[in-house]
Amino acid sequence: MNKVLDVNGLKVTFKSFDGDVQAVRGLDFYLNEKETLAIVGESGSGKSVTSQSIMRLISSPPGIVEGSIMFEEKDLNEVSEKEMESIRGKEISMIFQDPMTSLNPTMRIGRQITEGLIKHQNMTKKEAFNRALQLLKLVGIPDSEERIHQYAHQFSGGMRQRVVIAIALACNPKILVADEPTTALDVTIQAQILELMKDLQQKTGTSIILITHDLGVVAKAASRVAVMYSGKIVETGTVDEIFYEPKHPYTWGLLGSMPKLDGSKELLNAIPGTPPDLANPPKGCPFVTRCPYAMNICEERNPEYTTISDTHKSACWLQERLAPDVEPPQDIFIRREDHAR
Amino acid sequence: MPDRLKKLIELKNTKKHFSIDHRTVLKAVDGVTFDIYRGETFGLVGESGCGKTTVGRTLIRLYEATDGQIYFNGEDITSFKTAKKQKEFNRKIQMIFQDPYASLNPRMTVMDIISEGIDNHNLIRTKEERNERVHELLRLVGLNKSHANRYPHEFSGGQRQRIGIARALAVNPEFIIADEPISALDVSIQAQVINLLKKLQNELDLTYLFISHDLSVVKYISDRIGVMYLGGMVELASSEDVYAKPLHPYTQALLSAIPLADPELERTKEQVPIKGDIPSPINPPSGCRFRTRCPHAMDVCSKVVPTWREYEEGHWVACHLYNK
């Protein structure tokens, strides 16, 4: 498979009066053609900062972005702002969490879609308008001839997100970065939007980076997963590897914290404590204070990645040869067998 | 275990309408009838705009009900005769709010936030006793004594929600309304707060009304679940029955729309299609309110409002498919 995006050693630091906050602390990941990579993590884990640095939306100062983001033999961290403008919205586009704030309230929907088409594809107004109509139909907005002249406030939350998707897909981008695209929506609408994204991906062949905190959404939409914790990827693998053979205690914790629809009424396996302060990150493994399996070395040194399979990597000292054998808590797997019945 | 015989709360055809202007009325809650038994957790689920929060607020009398009766321990809460009775009622029902950032006064210390209710109801006489009570409450919710003199901004979201819970518990309530208490928190912190709520219920013999849009959380914490849609209740049953044999097409759709953390299942699972958006509650569809999105809609659905009936023991539904 071809890599469309290859990120190496990405570090993002924000200067503040309180010292430097290291939001992202050395990320390596790639995105294959036509796949959906989910980046999961809690708030403050650096997932949104990662997506913004791909789009080069981190303003400097206060942000400092280091490392390389290779896209079509260009390093997005190095290219000129002018060149970036021709990539942003054309080759790589973005869907934001809140469709009410990402649409312009004073501009008709039609103009917001045609804006990119006219700028990037040199279409005439008329051509762009027709293409916008097509796009609205594609994302499933009924009465699109009428709706194209309306404003954002005349749309419901789900419909607004469809418009945002239409704008993002207008120029047939190679990569779509979706930052929590369904978090602000109700579950039935969320299901519709996720279906739509899947459908459009099959039609257009776009690669998607899906940022989310919801493991259900990951299971439904992603082909590969990167689990982030305090600015690092602690485990990455295919969805099946992450859900059925997770290796990192944080992944176990995330899976265990989710209430199961069919499950028992016992206490949930909550992860105790809170994530570390990134202005003063720990010397060793960032998860050490919350990890039930923590060993002495975990406090001293940050673990390197252990390769479990071609696609599966985990950064945990438990994978080390000399470490004790630890079985993941069994109840995180219950749901699979229960559903199979 | 909940006592099946003792009803703590009874809602009888409760309505709450808001006037938008002289002509338009928004029927946020349009006639819901259900009971909450002593010691149970009653879950209320539905999408945004379905009226679940309005039910909670009407119950605690933040809103005056437009019509219908609400009984608490057999007393009609909409017309208390004396101020004393009203105050006693205020003590017995407490609320936990959604946003732990907005629901704590940033200019009060944790001590003052928690003891405000204690002072209002004159539950404790001396300052030492008051301090002791606050420390005890903090311990109960998993914080410690040293937190009492801090301000809300010094705490994380999960800790703030614990303070909100301690405040609700301070006046020894019998009944707690938790309105989306964990929606603003991260998954791992959500589990901590759910566990805490369960522990407190066992220790203090509390009754909960748990309002949430997240069916898997509600299923987990509740004994019985009511499903609301556009101002009305469409189904009510034990949480096992709602999950195992949902009757109403809306409940079925809601269940199938929840993405499960199981990729294999997600690949194979059949989706109950649900089209379109929730109609406006200002001008809801005639007859059954769900008919515009229902895959089983029939002629009768647009004409007759389905009756709220007990289809099986303890399993209520409002749908024409189950009219025998």
- The model's pLDDT over B14-36, given as tens digits with 9 standing for 90+, comes to 999 999 888 888 999 999 999 99
Show residues of chain A in contact with B199, CB under 8 Å: 267
Q: Considering only A264-268, B177-181, B226-230, B245-249, which range has the smallest mean pLDDT? A: A264-268
Token readout for A212 is: 């989310």
- The model's pLDDT over A230-273, given as tens digits with 9 standing for 90+, comes to 999 999 999 999 999 999 999 999 988 887 766 666 777 778 88
Question: From edge to edge, which strands make up the β-sheet containing A306-307?
Answer: A92-95, A175-179, A207-212, A36-40, A224-229, A232-238, A313-314, A306-307
Show residues of chain A in contact with B259, CB under 8 Å: 190-191, 194, 214, 216-217, 219-221
What's the pLDDT score for residue A339? 47
3-state helix, strand, coil in chain B (%, to 5): 35, 25, 40
- The model's pLDDT over A278-309, given as tens digits with 9 standing for 90+, comes to 888 888 899 998 999 989 899 988 999 999 99
B220 touches chain A (CB under 8 A): yes
Residue found by looking up tokens 């209740």 in the block: B233
Q: Which of B207, B172, B192 is nearest to B181 (CA)?
A: B192
- The model's pLDDT over A99-117, given as tens digits with 9 standing for 90+, comes to 878 899 999 999 999 998 9
Interchain CB distance below 8 Å, A272 and B192 = yes
Please give the mean pLDDT across all residues of chain B: 90
CA distances from B63 to A84, B14, B89, B121, B251 (A): 53, 12, 15, 22, 28
Q: List phi, psi (to 5°) of A25.
A: -125, 65
Interchain CB distance below 8 Å, B190 and A191 = no
pLDDT of A78 over the 70 cut: yes
Q: Where are the beta strands (DSSP E) in B158-252?
A: 175-179, 207-212, 224-229, 232-238
* Contact between residue A314 and residue A331 where contact means Cβ atoms under 8 Å apart: no
d(CA B231, CA B48): 11
d(CA A40, CA B186): 12
Q: Read off the pTM.
A: 0.85
What ipTM was assigned to the predicted interfaces of this complex?
0.79
Show residues of chain B in contact with A222, CB under 8 Å: 263
Q: Which of residues 89-108 of B touch A (CB under 8 A)?
A: none
Q: Which of B61, B57, B31, B80 is nearest to B177 (CA)?
A: B57
B17 touches chain A (CB under 8 A): no
CA B172, B173, B176, B177 torsion: positive or negative? negative
d(CA B175, CA B9): 9
Residue found by looking up tokens 């002509």 in the block: B23
pLDDT of A340 over the 50 cut: no
Residue A225 belongs to what H/E stretch? strand A224-229
Please give the mean pLDDT across all residues of chain A: 88
d(CA B186, CA B184): 7
3-state SS, residue A25: strand
Q: Which of A176, A156, A260 is nearest to B277 (CA)?
A: A156
What's the pLDDT score for residue A234? 94
d(CA B301, CA B248): 13
Show residues of chain A in contact with B220, CB under 8 Å: 259-260, 263, 265, 268
Q: List phi, psi (to 5°) of B224.
A: -130, 155
Exposure string for B239-277, b = 16+ CB within 10 A, e = fewer: bebbbeebbbbbbbbbbbbbbbbbbbbbeeeeebebeeb
Of the pLDDT bands very low, low, confident and very high (cuts 50, 70, 90), residue B324 is low
Token readout for B114 is: 């928690």
Give me the residues paired with residue A225 across strands.
A38, A237
Instruction: Kindly give, in sequence order, each residue whose CB lies less than 8 Å from that of residue B184, ignoring residues fewer than 6 positions away.
Output: B98, B99, B100, B101, B157, B161
d(CA B203, CA B286): 47
d(CA B320, CA A303): 60
Q: Hey, what amino acid is at B284?
A: P
pLDDT of A128 over the 70 cut: yes
* Helices within A122-206 (DSSP H only): 125-138, 144-147, 157-169, 187-204
* Contact between residue A314 and residue A225 where contact means Cβ atoms under 8 Å apart: no
Q: Which of residues 247-276 of B touch A (CB under 8 A)?
A: 253-266, 271, 274-275
d(CA B236, CA B252): 13
Identify which of A188, A221, A339 has the shortest CB distance to residue B257.
Answer: A188
What's the pLDDT score for residue B3? 52
Residue found by looking up tokens 């953390």 in the block: B261
Residue found by looking up tokens 């189950």 in the block: B322
What's the pLDDT score for residue B137? 94
Residues B67-81, mean pLDDT to the nearest whole number: 88
pLDDT of B318 over the 60 cut: yes
Q: Which of A6, A40, A27, A1 is nearest to A220 (CA)?
A: A40
Count chain A–chain B contacts defined by CB atoms under 8 A.
Answer: 135
- The model's pLDDT over B277-312, given as tens digits with 9 standing for 90+, comes to 788 888 889 999 999 999 888 999 999 999 999 999
* Contact between residue B32 and residue B50 where contact means Cβ atoms under 8 Å apart: no
Token readout for A218 is: 């990951």
pLDDT of A341 over the 50 cut: no
pLDDT of A338 over the 60 cut: no
Identify which of B188, B257, B277 has the shortest CB distance to residue A191.
Answer: B257
Instruction: Kindly give, in sequence order, each residue whose CB lies less than 8 Å from that of residue B141, ignoring residues fewer than 6 positions away.
Output: B162, B163, B165, B166, B169, B196, B200
A260 touches chain B (CB under 8 A): yes
Give me the residues paired with residue A102 across strands.
none
Interchain CB distance below 8 Å, A259 and B220 = yes
